[in-house]
């Protein structure tokens, strides 16, 4: 891990850009931290540059709870090399949605599963590096989407002790099978009227999680319209589980 | 409305028993209130005596937000005259559940609709009386179940400006139709693994509500196992809408 730049985004929050191998990312910490703090990995749909304002806002809210936050670019997104196969699958998925059809499971698999297979080891390597920093202690949470990546991480990565998922992307059936093996506390945000999402699939996924403690928090407002109170509620979840 | 007894249940919460006509109820207020306060009507499944500890706990939490709370006994419950027809329907419903069957819509209608028809005017008369008290100002919320009663009240009663429903009872199909006409902000609690409830019906009901602002908060823990954070979350909903 190499830090490539740093700046204050608030009086008390330090934002550092880094690369792990050829994967760029950001780390946000309280500038005044003296003891190692818990860490939340921020999932997102890809495209760090356009996602940055929302990610930084989430990191700020977590910093106010005393937590560090970090994210990395997704495979094939932003300035990382594109995947022709993924781009084809994305075009097919959008075409299905535009014509009012449910995308086929085959297209969802082709779009999401290679992304999960590539992204999860990258998150794990990044986590190794982050936990080596003296200012990061743990425990570790995962917050956001792509939910299929979050599910695989929750299954594979014992250092993640709580996850707040955003159910806002299509989920392969095989990931719903994997969800039975998730046992950590979960907080799942669902936008009930999200047109680019399959609500029933999200409910099936929530049902499948093996966790004894799981909360579904569903709201109106469309894909990007998560109400402020729902965001605060998700942060309260992390406050309960990472402190 | 006649008050029949009063006592302090905390240093600062006054509990008064009352009757409106032949319907008994309770009113909880902060003992030290100087200006008229918002009011939350507390719905419950019937049986004030056995429900009292849980109702008083909910009233205490609302009092800490500065709100009064009140409830009345349901028709046919507690010390009110039983209804032979309702008792028969309840036996049939329990028989269906015990044999692992879904109760028929006809049985659900026969159990719930007469209860709604009788209870809603009683709640409205009680509300008239409560709002005549100098210590109660408004706005008014409804919190709890029986959810079918809450839905009808939210449709019929313009003085109720926000409702926190507990989706823990069977809902007639006609009530799901009525739900389209509900437009106030809603917060719906659902126990995902509630054996005595029909989860799909609860999701259909949530979907049917016409409200622009509605939140579904679903958790594990069975019918009576609503986690503490979900109760706090419901109180935050009332704090946003009644203050």
Provide the ipTM: 0.92
Name the minimum distance, in Å, from the CA of A3 to any CA of chain B: 38
CB B192 to CB A203 under 8 A? no
Q: Measure the CA–CA gap between B186 and B199, rounded to whole angstroms.
A: 18
CA closest to A192 among chain B residues: B207
User: What band does B136 get if pLDDT is binned at 50, 70 and 90?
Assistant: very high
For testing contact with chain B, the best of A189, A193, A217 (most B CBs within 10 A): A217
CATH topology for the B2-242 domain? Rossmann fold (3.40.50)
Q: Residue A220 and residue B214: Cβ atoms within 8 Å? A: yes
Tell me the average pLDDT across A29-49.
94
Fold that domain A2-82+120-242 belongs to in CATH: Rossmann fold (3.40.50)
How would residue A102 be classed by pLDDT, with cut points 50, 70 and 90? confident
pLDDT at B63: 96
- B interface residues, A as partner, C-beta within 8 Å: 192, 203, 206-207, 211-220, 227, 229-230, 233, 236-237, 240
Helix (H, G, I), strand (E, B) or coil at B209: coil
Interface test with B, best of A229, A236, A237 (most B CBs within 10 A): A229
Subunit contact A220:B212, Cβ cutoff 8 A: yes
Residues in chain A: 243
Instruction: Write out chain B residues lying below 8 Å of A207, CB-based.
Output: 192
pLDDT at B2 over 90: yes
Residue A100 has pLDDT above 90, yes or no: no
Is residue B146 over pLDDT 80?
yes
A-interface mutation test, from B191, B193, B229, B231, most A Cβ less than 10 A away: B229
* Per-residue pLDDT tens over the stretch A43-87: 999 999 999 999 999 999 999 999 999 999 999 999 999 999 999
Which whole number is the average pLDDT over B170-178? 95
pLDDT band with cut points at 50, 70 and 90 for residue A32: confident
Instruction: For chain A, give the secondary structure using H, E and C.
Output: CEEEEEEECCCCEEEEEEEECCEEEEEEEECCCCCCEEEEEECCCCCHHHHHHHHHHHHHHHHHCCCEEEEECCCCCCCCCCCHHHHHHHHHHHHHHHCCCCCCHHHHHHHHHHHHHHHHHHHHHHHHHHHHCCCEEEEEEEEECCHHHHHHHHHHCCCEEEEEEECCCCCCHHHHHHHCCCCCCEEEEEECCCCCCCHHHHHHHHHHCCCCCEEEEEECCCCCCCCHHHHHHHHHHHHHHHC
Non-local CB neighbours of A128 within 8 Å, separated by 6+ positions: none
**What is the model's pTM?**
0.94
Which of B233, B238, B239 to probe by mutation at the A interface, max A CB count within 10 Å? B233
Q: Is B138 exposed, middle or buried (0-12, 13-18, 19+ CB in 10 A)?
A: middle
What single DSSP character describes residue B77? S
Inter-chain touch A229–B219, beta carbons under 8 Å: no
Chain B nearest-CA distance from A215, in A, is 5
A206:B192 CB<8 A: yes
Nearest CB among A212, A218, A230 relative to B220 is that of A212
d(CA B197, CA B193): 9
- SS3 call for B68: strand
Question: At B158, is the pLDDT very low, low, confident or very high (cuts 50, 70, 90)?
Answer: very high
Cα B121 from Cα B42, distance rounded (Å): 15
Lowest-pLDDT range of A174-183, A213-222, B12-21, B28-37:
B28-37
Name the residue among A212, A215, A236 with its Cβ closest to that of B217: A215
Q: Do B215 and A216 touch (CB under 8 A)?
A: no
CA distance B92 to B143: 28
What is the chain B residue with the closest CA to A219?
Answer: B215
Q: What are B45-94's pLDDT values in tens digits?
A: 999 999 999 999 999 999 999 999 999 999 999 999 999 999 999 999 99
3-state class (DSSP) for residue B171: coil
Q: How many residues does chain B have?
A: 243
Q: How many A-B residue pairs are in contact by the CB < 8 A criterion? A: 55
B240 CA to chain A: closest CA distance, Å? 9
Average pLDDT over residues A125-140: 97
Q: Hey, are the CB atoms on B218 and A215 less than 8 Å from each other?
A: yes
| Residue A35 bridge partners (DSSP) | none
Task: With beta carbons under 8 A apart, name residues in chain A contacting B233.
Answer: 233, 236
**Residue A197's closest CA among A171, A236, A229?**
A171
DSSP, collapsed to helix, strand or coil, labels residue A211 as: coil
Residue B6's CB is within 10 A of a number of other CB atoms, namely 12
CA atoms within 13 A on the CB side of B38: 21
Task: Using the predicted structure, report yes or no on whether residue A33 has a pLDDT greater than 80.
Answer: no
Residue B149's nearest CA partner among B106, B173, B114 is: B114
For residue A185, the chain B residues in CB contact (below 8 A) are: none
Give the nearest partner residue to A229 out of B207, B227, B236, using CB atoms.
Answer: B236
Nearest Cα residue to B126 out of B24, B228, B34: B24
| Per-residue model confidence (pLDDT) at position B225 | 94
Note whether A160 and A41 are within 8 A (CB): yes
pLDDT confidence of residue B195: 81
Beta bridge partners of B29: B14
Please, are residues A4 and A17 in contact by the beta-carbon 8 Å criterion?
yes
What residues form DSSP beta bridges with A17? A5, A26
Q: What are phi and psi of B127, to 5 degrees?
A: -65, -45
The C-alpha atoms of residue B130 and residue B38 are separated, in whole angstroms, by 11
């Amino acid at each position: 891990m190499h830090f490539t730049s740093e700046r204050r985004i608030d009086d008390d929050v330090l934002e550092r850009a880094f690369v792990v191998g050829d994967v760029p990312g950001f780390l946000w910490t309280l500038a005044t931290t003296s003891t190692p703090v818990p860490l939340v990995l921020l999932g997102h749909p890809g495209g760090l540059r356009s996602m940055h304002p929302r990610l930084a806002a989430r990191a700020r809210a977590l910093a106010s709870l005393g937590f560090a936050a970090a994210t990395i670019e997704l495979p094939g997104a932003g300035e990382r090399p594109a995947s022709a196969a993924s781009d084809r699958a994305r075009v097919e998925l959008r075409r299905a949605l535009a014509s009012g059809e449910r995308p086929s499971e085959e297209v969802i698999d082709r779009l999401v599963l290679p992304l999960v297979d590539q992204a999860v080891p990258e998150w794990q390597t990044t986590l190794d590096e982050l936990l080596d920093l003296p200012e990061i202690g743990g425990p570790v949470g995962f917050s956001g989407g792509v939910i299929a990546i979050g599910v695989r991480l929750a299954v594979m990565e014992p250092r993640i002790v709580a996850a707040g998922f955003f159910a806002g992307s299509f989920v392969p059936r095989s990931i719903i099978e994997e969800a039975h093996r998730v046992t950590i506390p979960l907080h799942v945000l669902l936008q009930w009227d999200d047109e680019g999402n399959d609500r029933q699939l999200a409910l099936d996924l929530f049902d499948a999680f093996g966790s004894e403690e799981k909360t579904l928090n569903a709201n109106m407002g469309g894909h990007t319209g998560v109400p402020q109170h729902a965001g605060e509620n998700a942060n309260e979840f992390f406050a309960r589980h990472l402190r």
